[in-house]
Structure 1
Amino acid sequence: YEAGNYSVIWDGRDNSGQAVSSGTYIYQIQAGQFVDIKKMVLIR
């Protein structure tokens, strides 16, 4: 991957296509050997 800013868009749906509830979610980003885990809050 080249250095720079990247973005990811999540539509608030699970793997089955169902809308998820409001709450705190944990996500993981991987790029090469880089791995980062963060929390996000989804409010509907």
Structure 2
Amino acid sequence: MVTALMDWMTASGCKRVSLSSSSEGEPLYASLGFTYDDPRMSWRAR
């Protein structure tokens, strides 16, 4: 579901996503390309 949302956002012109995650969720988002930018995680479209 997260990858489908990221694909939709990219196709819609979104260039960056910033989110707050629990410590339990951080490995999932890191595996999807999010990086930790204290205090949030962020992802940039390629």
TM-score normalized with structure 2 length: 0.36
The structure carrying a bigger strand percent of its residues is 1
Query: 1 or 2 for the larger relative contact order (CA 8 Å, sep ≥6)?
Result: 2
